[in-house]
């Protein structure tokens, strides 16, 4: 695990599964617009949370690229799930601004709900095709830029599924 402090916020990078982070009070879902179960991170989160999550989420959708909404964690060890719709790379433009909006909106929403520790997957880097290095640059820059406006959030963890994605996030974090 790599960890660096920006203002009052500690940013961490770990390899792992976003559904197995019991010390975080919120995790972020790379959701689809309808907030349905789906595949990738969304599938894993909905399977771990149980059917109550989709039931709560459906009336909150559809959401637009860059938008975030919050729900309970149901059977997850986390109190909240924040659902973001990332941009489809090369289709939802400007992709970098829409991706930045996901991270900023999720952090602001977490803060308004009193969250202290939040975990993000690498939004848009799976089925949505965003290349990992520019996605890591946007993610880390946005968290650093948003950190001064956060009141309750003091820990942000990037949970990367693969070793190679972790290496990219670590490098970008060290270079900041």
Binding residues for ligand ADP, per CB under 6 A?
A: 17-19, 30, 40-42, 44, 86, 121-128, 159, 161, 165
Neighbouring CB atoms inside 10 A of 1's CB total 10
- Sheet with 26-30, strands from edge to edge, namely 2-6, 9-15, 155-160, 117-120, 26-30, 80-84, 68-72
**Partners of 68 in beta bridges:** 84
Q: Which is nearer to ligand ADP, 78 or 125 (CB)?
A: 125
Cβ 84 to ligand ADP shortest distance, Å: 8
Neighbouring CB atoms inside 10 A of 135's CB total 25
Q: Which is nearer to ligand ADP, 8 or 25 (CB)?
A: 25
Q: Which is nearer to ligand ADP, 41 or 63 (CB)?
A: 41
Q: Which of 2, 1, 4, 9 is nearest to 145 (CA)?
A: 9
Cβ 26 to ligand ADP shortest distance, Å: 14
Cβ 120 to ligand ADP shortest distance, Å: 9
Q: Which is nearer to ligand ADP, 135 or 147 (CB)?
A: 135
The b-or-e profile of 91-130 (16+ CB within 10 A means b, else e) is ebeebbebbbbbbbbbbebbbeeebebbbbbbbbbbebeb
Strand-pair category, 9-15 with 2-6: antiparallel
Q: Which is nearer to ligand ADP, 25 or 87 (CB)?
A: 87
Cβ 8 to ligand ADP shortest distance, Å: 26
Question: d(Cα 59, Cα 39) in Å, to the nearest integer?
Answer: 20
Cβ 141 to ligand ADP shortest distance, Å: 18
């Amino acid at each position: 695990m790599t960890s660096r402090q920006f203002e009052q916020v500690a940013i961490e990078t770990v390899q792992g599964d976003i559904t197995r982070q019991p010390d975080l009070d919120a995790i972020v879902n790379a959701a689809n617009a309808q907030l349905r179960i789906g595949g990738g991170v969304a599938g894993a989160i909905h399977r771990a949370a149980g059917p109550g999550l989709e039931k709560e989420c459906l009336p909150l959708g559809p959401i637009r690229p860059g938008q975030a909404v919050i729900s309970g964690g149901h059977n997850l060890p986390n109190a909240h799930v924040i659902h973001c719709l990332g941009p489809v790379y090369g289709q939802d433009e400007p992709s970098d601004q829409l991706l930045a909006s996901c991270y900023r909106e999720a952090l602001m929403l977490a803060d308004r709900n009193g969250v202290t520790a939040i975990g993000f997957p690498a939004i848009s880097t799976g089925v949505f095709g965003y290349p990992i290095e520019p996605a890591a640059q946007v993610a880390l820059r946005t968290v650093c830029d948003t950190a001064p406006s956060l009141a309750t959030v003091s820990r942000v963890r990037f949970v990367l599924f693969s070793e190679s994605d972790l290496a990219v996030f670590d490098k970008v974090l060290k270079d900041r």
